[in-house]
Amino acid sequence: MKSIQVTDIGQLKNELNKYRKGKKLEIRQFNQAARLAWLGRLTMMPLEPEDPQTESYLVYVDFPEGLSAQLIQIDEDLVGRIFILDGEQGRYLAEIIEQGVHERAALYQELDRRDFYFGKFYRPEKTQDEAGN
């Protein structure tokens, strides 16, 4: 049976701390991830939910679909990948996901209430005051 000798405990602890803290995305990548988060194309979960010292998030960035895939430019090295993201950026992306859900739901609710027919076909007759001016 093989055994792995650990000679540098400090290096092992440093690697564990990097894992617990996660990594920050660059500004350009964060903005792109935030756009996809607003669209609901990010999947996130705490990296270690049972460890209170670990604040980082496991984040999967999915490919955009439909019209958004044609209009939003995303780096290929960002989509289709899993990242260990630091806690601060992870919390901000979670807020953006929530904001996107609320705003998209409001758009669909407004669309459901909108009456297209009367806006396009109903033309009120002008009163004499409006016709004379």
**What residue ranges do the domains of the chain occupy?**
22-114
pTM comes to 0.76
The reported pLDDT for the residue numbered 122 is 77
pLDDT along the chain (133 residues), means of 10: 63 78 93 97 93 91 94 93 94 97 97 86 70 57
| Short-list 72, 128, 133, CA closest to 100 | 72
- How far, in Å, CA of 133 to CA of 130, rounded? 5
Report which DSSP code applies to 57.
E
3-class state of residue 109 by DSSP: helix
- How far, in Å, CA of 48 to CA of 73, rounded? 32
